[in-house]
Structure 1
């Protein structure tokens, strides 16, 4: 046996970051040894809290990146080394393997880099009762693991690992929604499925058909495409408009790479913002209390549709923590959603005598289906459904290849001094774009509210060398233009010595 390896030290040595979203890094850095060590640390932590023991099964699935099968094999080797049994779930959506694990009271791992390019990958860890949260992350990072002599000089497994039998989780995941919505819920709707390289593409097609809809497959790709639901690529915007016009579609459905974040385009081929989709889904499901990040559209408060709205930091673990508090406070109907469209339900949902069990992890299918079913029930198009909300519009983009250290230095500079000094500095920087800075929210990053009603929100990405920019205004074009102008300003901004 080798010497114990500190996970905190391994993070520094490998450059593979570990946080509440799991481990993510360059594929070249995510050697079998690194993935094995992180998986062992996760299981050791679960053992410490009574959620892992010899003989327990651990579910493993992955997305369609070329590197995912290798990483899955390294994770499976770690499970066996720790005395567990592997339930290999194949290539299925993150929420499908999570639901399988939660339903059986077993841990689960999803190998995915989500929306980021396929030169990177990651591992998302789930406890037996929910996602890994901040206290779990800290405990996992504090672990030391003793690794067996299974790896070569490059950190790769020397011998092929035994294959596990494939467990079908897709059938139950599809049945979850067919049982709740009913077999004719989408009858009469012609729905395009933008498949690209999403791991849930076949499930989405099968589900639309099972709900009585006409599914039209579009844009399937054998090459991984990094679709980001918060920053939809211009080519994907153009494709949706072209498909809608040519095929007379009622909507276009899609997801990100691991199919836990939705994309839904209206009858004109215009992709809906994730936070708007979240609001409409919460209304369709009759939810009373919402947890949502500070970056999401303020129309949720302005609409008056929800009794309680709790704002959080950005990221599903923070949304889950807020949902848990709402449940503990006695709220009977609780959901959460993010700007990327990921939708979570902390309590069961009941409609027409049918009950949808809680699923406290990001899910792409529920918001898409609930909004489509609601629009059909009301006899309106998706664009008409959106028009029922207050006229507030959000937009988000990012500066790519913008080092995290540079992002943090910029935010620290802008936040220096008294509140008056901060507002004066922000007015000097952004005044020509948005007018006078009125107040700031520092829940997560720097969110600047201007006297005219515009919002500019800057935040370093938590999982990539990017600076995120969120903007909000009372006009969609204004929100997009403001975002573009703000990013150009930031790109060219120099911090004075």
Structure 2
């Protein structure tokens, strides 16, 4: 599949992200989107990212604009720096997908691009811009990481996590050193775990069983109160309690929004339905999957009421703040892009202030449980065709789904989400940025959600394998 825009930016095989294509897409962004005449460029730690970033910087400079090199920094740190400087930004990252793939994420003066911006970029491509020579004349922005760290230390203060022993699963996250600094600055005792020299594609939304077992073992071995990590470009969080149990991203979203005093929440249809049961939230807007859709919903909510305390999050845990919030020690400015640190720090600090563990905080929420995973190396068109057939044919759904009760509702906002009598939910969807088919489940207990997921992943594997072999 050639490079294309998915749920969050352009993605494709590194071999297909040629200098010509990267230059063309960068110049299209410069023509189509508001950037104020300056664009900041950052990248993750996958091997192909620095060279792609230099091509992007050269294209910006060749257009007569100010190219700013941020270096290897988290995506939310780049977005914060661009917002502070009032300029555009491009992040070179493939996020959580394997190292043979990479991509570009774009930011305008108002933040992360929307689907309208994406359409404008696509319409502006194809002008056959020459690839500019490198190295390009650029400015350097050395304070990007430091300013991102300061954001949390100033808002939460040096005692927010005092006395907590927190493991930091470092792997190849671009935020691995920065997280150690932040947690130490908040009073915790951070413990570095499993730093990797090679790129590891950690998907915080679909944590493999062997990884979960390792997380739990680390918590036991190092007597941890919690364990934190991120995906490759650090816009998705991972948080475990003291027993090493992963707290789902959409649960972190609920906890974070409540801790910040949010009253309007925007989140995709795949997120845990408990969000609609939280009395502090006066409005919940459900969207298609992908941060551009969440951003658009947040913008619409703020347009309807500029005083609304709007937040957004995805099932992967990426958290977006649409209003200037107040932390325990100081202000926390809006940041309308997926962040990894806030949805870890906010719940931990809230629990610690109440004398609770993170497990206690989670246990007090309405008891709805989710699970998610995906089949890899599945052609997108095969997933789309199979899900379209199920969506159109009630008999095909009855034959495929096994949820212990009859179907009571379907939702085709994004893929196919089917609700069953008894509270079970199964949601199938082609990935927007990789050849994968994702499956999300929800049930009244965690075991039931996990069993529902296991059954339907196997059924999905069999169905798509039969389809591939004719």
Partner residue of 2:322 out of 338, 346, 357: 346
Q: Displacement of 1:350 after TM fit?
A: 1.9
Gap runs ≥5 in structure 1: 1-13, 151-156, 417-421
Matches of 1:215 and 1:472, distance apart in 2: 33
Residues 380 and 356 of structure 1, relative CA distance in 2, 3 Å threshold: same
Contact 1:273 1:341 in 2 (8 A): yes
Cα distance change, pair 227–200 in 1 and its aligned pair in 2 (3 A): same
Counterpart pick for 1:380 among 339, 356, 361: 356
Runs (4+) of structure 1 moved beyond 6 Å? none
Tell me the CA shift for residue 392 of structure 1: 0.8
Q: Relative to 1, partners in 2 of residues 1:71 and 1:472: Cα closer, same or farther, differing over 3 Å?
A: same
Q: Which has the higher contact order (CA 8 A, sep 6+)?
A: 2
Partner of 2:189: 214
1:129 correspondence with 2:82: no
Do the aligned partners of 2:415 and 2:429 also contact (CA within 8 Å) in 1? yes
Q: Give the deviation of 1:20 after TM superposition.
A: 5.8
Could you say what secondary structure the match of 1:64 adopts? coil
* Superposed CA offset, 1:171-193 (max 9, x none): 11111111110111111111111
Superposition map of 1:445-484 within 5 A: 445-484=415-454
Offset at residue 317 of structure 1 (A) = 0.7
Which whole-Å CA distance do the structure 2 matches of 1:247 and 1:351 have between them?
A: 29
Shift of 1:58: 1.1
Q: Match for residue 397 of structure 1?
A: 373
SS at match of 1:199: coil
Report the secondary structure of 1:278's partner residue. helix
C-alpha distance in 2 between matches for 1:441 and 1:145: 37
Whole-Å separation in 2 of the counterparts to 1:159 and 1:176: 34
Deviations 1:393-450 (A, max 9, x none): 000011111111001111111122xxxxx4443222224x432111101111100000
Q: Distance in 2 between matches of 1:259 and 1:357?
A: 19
Residues 1:245 and 1:19: Cα distance change in structure 2 (over 3 Å):
closer
1:18 has 2:30 as partner: no
Q: Say if 2:72 is the partner of 1:96.
A: no
Q: 2:399 aligns with which of 409, 428, 433?
A: 428
Q: Does 1:40 align with 2:16?
A: no
Within 5 A, what are the aligned runs for 1:229-378?
229-330=204-305, 332-351=308-327, 354-378=330-354
Matched, 1:27 2:14: yes
Listed one character per residue, the Cα deviations across residues 229-280 of structure 1 (whole Å, up to 9, x for unaligned) are 1101223211111111111100001000000110000010111100011111
Larger radius of gyration between Structure 1 and Structure 2: 1
Does structure 2 retain, via aligned residues, the 8 Å contact 1:199–1:259? yes
DSSP 3-state at the match of 2:204: coil
The Cα of 1:85 is off from its aligned counterpart by 1.5
Q: TM-score, normalised by structure 2?
A: 0.95
Aligned alpha-carbon RMSD (Å): 1.8
CA contact (8 A) 2:311 2:321 kept: yes
Which sits farther off after the overlay, 17-26 or 207-216? Answer: 17-26
- Conserved in 2, the CA contact under 8 Å of 1:395 and 1:471? yes
Match of 1:11 in 2: none
TM (norm. structure 1) is 0.90
Once the two structures are TM-superposed, the CA of residue 293 in structure 1 deviates from its matched residue by 0.5
- Whether the aligned pair in 2 keeps the contact of 1:449 and 1:455 (CA below 8 Å) is yes
Distance 1:149 1:63 in 2: 26
User: Cα–Cα, structure 1 residues 145 and 441, in superposed 2: closer, same or farther, change >3 Å?
Assistant: closer
How far apart are the structure 2 equivalents of 1:472 and 1:279? 16
Residue of 81, 106, 109 corresponding to 2:62: 81
Separation in 1 of the partners of 2:327 and 2:70?
Answer: 30
Instruction: List alignment gaps of at least 5 residues for structure 2.
Output: none
Deviation, 1:52, is 4.3
